Amino acid sequence: MLALEVMVILTAAVLLCTVVARRLGVAPPVLFLVGGALLALFPALRDVHLPPETVLLLFLPALLYWESLTTSLREIRSNLRGILLMSTLLVAATAGAVAAAAHLLGLPWGPAWILGAAVAPTDATAVGTLTRSLPRRNVTLLRAESLINDGTALVLYSIAVAVTVGEVKVDAAYITWSFLLSYVGGAATGALIACFAVFVIRHLNDALLQNIAQILTPLAAFLVAELIHASGVLAVVVAGLVVSRLGPRVGRAEGRQQTEAFWTLSTFLLNASLFVLVGLELPSAVRGLAGPDLWIGLAAVGIVSVIVSGVRFAFLFIVTYAIRLFDRRPEQKLRRVSHRERVISGLSGFRGAVSLAAALAVPETVASGDPLADRDMIIFVTAGVIVITLVLPGLLLPAVVRWANLPPDESVEQERSLAETRSLETALEVLPVLAAGLGADAYVTDRVRLEYETRLRIAKADATEPDGGITLEKHEQATALRLALLNSKRATILQLRDTGEIDDIVLRAIQQALDLEEVHLTGPTSFE
């Protein structure tokens, strides 16, 4: 099937599944998987496969970069110990437990460790999509864990593959060097590429060129890291965190608007397409096994799924109490979470496209040229674990969140109110000096002062107080009136275009200005 036909079918499937998911109140990735599996029933689509190099070189850098660019670096720093433990020790423990179970089921140790490394990491895109309703700290911890643990798992995976195909002999020095090169090299590469990208963006005075530099950043970070055999995943994550820290100081407002719009849309489509493609792989994975092997594979899927979930829950509770036993600092007590929050974190161990890409990338032959035994079993079990760890938790998570009855997270709104109030107060303080420096007329200065004073009163308004309520009500009325006027202006310029009095180019220019004004009044609409 032609690539264009596949793209049309994928995009149509994403659109349909998203609409149905919102109507039914189901997590979209669940329906994306189901939709992909249904598409695989058509004979023309049976030969469509997910190339592992496409995930690792195209999908993964873009998705991880946006996830890291939009996460909270402050929360990562304050919870760094827990994040590192979850993204290193938990990954190693999960891979080891799965490898031991797979060996007991008949797999040699080499393929067993490949399977363990493939299913060990959680999926950043799935976590970002399925945990939006959680408080900020919970989401940040889960996202940060899933951003970093891919690097650990892929190092384990590469060692297991190299040993299995007979490329290297593993010893303690080799493993230590592999991890050091992966982490230190990946982090250093990401930081250097990000600093260079910020330097380039600072000296580009065109919004379009700035966004081209933004697009190049994760791809360059991943490529350079892979060339030196470091972790491309960690390089992309660090690059995103550095740009999120330094980026707001450079660039143009128009460029930042383009960045937000481009990455929001493109990563949504990439993420959704990945889940559909994973669904497409499921029937192929089933066809790879036949007879008794299929039943063994089904049993392995169930056992491995229980193991990855069980190890995660055990790790969350055991390590938590171990930390409490040895760390009695007051600040550590402030970071404690309830048992119910840990249950949510345990349930959020979603596996995704990275695991499947790792399984599909397993070589078909060993160094001697003989076929690699159990490759089909690795792919089948990995695909099955992905489905179970996505579908079941994805369906259960809303009910578990309601059961947990977590306190509402008002910190974001409080900090936003603080930022708006403080910035308006500062602007009013410097207004006379700036007006004098620019030679602004007194009438203009008074108009601007009145506008900012009104915004400040609205920012300080409290709906529970009578005066604040009146202010907010008037503000809402004014916003509704302005939106109605915008619709009237749109109708007028459309009529002028339809009658030939203005050109389509003029229409688009005015419409863009009206759209920016509407977004300013109502706020942007984000993808769910």
Alpha helix segments (H runs only) across 71-183: 73-78, 80-87, 89-104, 109-119, 124-130, 136-164, 172-180
Rounded CA separation 275/288 (Å): 20
User: pLDDT at position 247, please?
Assistant: 85
Using alpha carbons, list the distances in angstroms from residue 510 to 64, 262, 332, 492, 497. 36, 21, 54, 11, 11
CB 280 within 8 A of CB 45: yes
User: pLDDT at position 475, please?
Assistant: 66
User: pLDDT at position 527, please?
Assistant: 52
Token pair of 36 as six digits: 């992909």
User: pLDDT at position 464, please?
Assistant: 44
User: pLDDT at position 213, please?
Assistant: 93
Rounded CA separation 281/409 (Å): 39
User: pLDDT at position 463, please?
Assistant: 43
pLDDT tens for the 528 residues of the chain, in order: 567 888 899 999 999 999 998 898 887 888 898 898 899 888 888 777 777 777 777 788 888 898 888 888 888 888 888 888 999 999 999 999 999 999 999 899 989 999 999 999 998 877 877 777 787 778 888 888 888 888 889 888 988 888 888 766 777 788 888 889 988 999 999 999 999 999 999 988 888 999 999 999 999 999 999 999 898 989 999 999 999 888 888 877 778 888 888 998 998 898 888 888 888 887 877 777 777 888 899 999 999 999 999 999 999 988 878 877 777 677 666 667 778 888 999 999 899 878 888 888 888 777 667 777 788 899 899 989 998 998 888 888 888 988 988 877 777 777 777 888 888 889 889 989 988 888 888 888 898 898 888 888 877 775 444 444 556 667 677 778 778 888 888 888 888 888 888 887 788 888 888 888 787 777 665 555
Question: Domain residues of the chain, as ranges?
Answer: 3-404
Nearest of 122, 87, 114, 84 to residue 98 by alpha carbon: 114
Q: Which residues pair with 371 in a beta bridge?
A: 365
Nearest of 251, 257, 242, 275 to residue 129 by alpha carbon: 275
CATH architecture of 3-404: Up-down Bundle (1.20)
Total residue count of the chain as it appears in this document = 528
